[in-house]
Structure 1
């Protein structure tokens, strides 16, 4: 869910690229919209509710796949790698949504796209070599990250209206937290990509189902812990004779918020389905580059809908990060 597409293609595949390239681009657009919605909603709705609600919808969509392709619990590799991917994805999505909620979306999203470095590093550790394009991409992405994130630590922003995530008077700390969360998201998504790719080699459906089940399980446990903490806090306040909010959720979940939460889950499922179709039948170098452009969608939406403004050096850094990620994706797939 969110933050990246599933690398299920084999190297050297070719196909009718115009339509497949369009599907990969659609995947980026859908992932970008879902990430923007997740970050924006997490500014006014508790993060765990956004995560759990959207994952329930995504899991239901993935479960429909079982009607045409059965689950193979006897395939140990698919079960193991799917579980690893699920744990990493749960952490990555939670970190990304929180980072987008408290930071500058146009910076956080591109930094999270550095997730591509994880599968590339694994490939290098297992014998892959660094080609010219891959090497240039790595250097450009690192330079772009420094340019994009550096000014954040000196930026001063007022708290957003109705936004409980921002703490007035401490923007440098929030900036540091958002960048750290973006890096955690990148590590989570990259690890998830590796797990999904390894598991898909045994059985794609089993891997995807295990991933969805583990993500859902992690969020159910987190939601239960969140409820427990709220109830204990309310009981302690009542014991001291202070008023305590009886509702488990600190604010009313509006109908449009519920629709948006459900949309996040469905958008991620559709994005990954579009990517999987393109990657399994198309040229991986082209598909991977187009599918890595989702942070540009997040940055565009945050600029248009939230009025975010980046400094010129940050804009240059974001462009370099996206160019570097695209080069890394093309270089590692070539």
Structure 2
């Protein structure tokens, strides 16, 4: 529970820096350069958290990376064609719900308090993701793309959990190699520049490093806990991003978002009681 909660905090911080970077650089540039930074970090961590090299672990990691990369591309596509206040919570809840369903189907049996925490956590994601900047008509296509993006992110969590636990960080190495290659190829095909914008490199590197730290925390958390609970706790990351935006950028929180942060804290407490 502690590892998954820490993962959500770090992941939200990574998204915060990624959001800052996208204000000065193209999205694909931010994604590729940040993931290269993450690849460098996991390469350094491999000797510190040793594990037995396993072709199966690398294969599951590659599959997870492809799923995560697909989710990322679809997510930005949904943001470009739909309403952010609908796209963001739809994607976040779907990415959490799929691992919950998979975990329950494969033998996870959370207690009643934990299930109540899961329900409250999913609701809190909807609340904290509310964005008053969204406007325009919600199309069926943007909803479908959002659901597909959430499925990509949820698939990342599920596929990574399938890797052998004794493999250490090798699954993350495979995931990052495949995601970097996929997004870089997409940038080449679409003729988008991968050069970071002025004064954005530090934010991009911070986003990549924090994202990889979050992935390491998730990998360790799901090895020691129920996937159905770990994935839900990780899905609370928008609350971390929101609080950083409030304290660093001075953005004001809406009442519904404050309520969402409160619900997230109660959800963590309920899941903690059940452990």
Q: Shift of residue 261 of structure 1?
A: 0.9
Measured against aligned partners, the alpha-carbon deviations of 1:100-142 in whole angstroms (never above 9, x if no partner) come to: 899769x937962653322221122224446423442344345
Q: Distance in 2 between matches of 1:24 and 1:135?
A: 16
Q: Shift of residue 99 of structure 1?
A: 7.2
SS at 2:25 equivalent:
coil
Match of 2:187 in 1: 223
SS at 1:171 equivalent:
coil
Q: How does 1:90-109 map to 2 (within 5 A)?
A: 90-94=69-73, 108=88
Q: Identify if the C-alpha distance between structure 1 residues 134 and 188 changes in structure 2 by more than 3 Å, giving closer, same or farther.
A: farther
Instruction: Pick which of 124-133 and 81-90 moved more.
Output: 124-133
Match of 1:242 in 2: none
Match of 1:48 in 2: 28
Match of 1:261 in 2: 204
Measured against aligned partners, the alpha-carbon deviations of 1:13-32 in whole angstroms (never above 9, x if no partner) come to: xxxxxxx94x6655443322
SS at 1:172 equivalent:
coil
Q: Shift of residue 316 of structure 1?
A: 2.7
Instruction: Pick which of 216-225 and 176-185 moved more.
Output: 176-185
Measured against aligned partners, the alpha-carbon deviations of 1:258-304 in whole angstroms (never above 9, x if no partner) come to: 11111211122233345556776799999878755432210112234
Query: For this pair of structures, how many residues does the alignment match?
Result: 272
Q: Distance in 2 between matches of 1:286 and 1:140?
A: 12
Query: What RMSD over aligned residues (CA atoms) do the two structures have, in Å?
Result: 4.4
| TM-score, normalised via structure 2 length | 0.73
Q: Identify if the C-alpha distance between structure 1 residues 213 and 94 changes in structure 2 by more than 3 Å, giving closer, same or farther.
A: same
Q: Distance in 1 between matches of 2:125 and 2:9?
A: 22
Instruction: Pick which of 204-213 and 139-148 moved more.
Output: 139-148
Name which of 303, 312, 318 aligns with 2:246: 303
Q: Distance in 2 between matches of 1:194 and 1:145?
A: 19
Q: Identify if the C-alpha distance between structure 1 residues 121 and 220 changes in structure 2 by more than 3 Å, giving closer, same or farther.
A: same
Q: Distance in 1 between matches of 2:144 and 2:261?
A: 17
Name which of 138, 157, 164 aligns with 1:193: 157
Measured against aligned partners, the alpha-carbon deviations of 1:178-228 in whole angstroms (never above 9, x if no partner) come to: 98776555432321111111113362333122111111111111111121x
- Decide whether the 8 Å contact of 2:157 with 2:231 is kept in 1: no
Structure 1: gaps (5+ residues): 1-19, 158-169, 231-247
Answering whether residue 43 of structure 2 is matched by residue 79 of structure 1, we say no
Q: Distance in 1 between matches of 2:125 and 2:84?
A: 14
Structure 2: gaps (5+ residues): none
| TM-score, normalised via structure 1 length | 0.62
Q: How does 1:21-40 map to 2 (within 5 A)?
A: 21=2, 26-40=6-20
Name which of 128, 132, 135 aligns with 2:112: 132
Q: Distance in 1 between matches of 2:272 and 2:144?
A: 26
Instruction: Pick which of 286-295 and 203-212 moved more.
Output: 286-295
Q: Distance in 2 between matches of 1:177 and 1:70?
A: 43
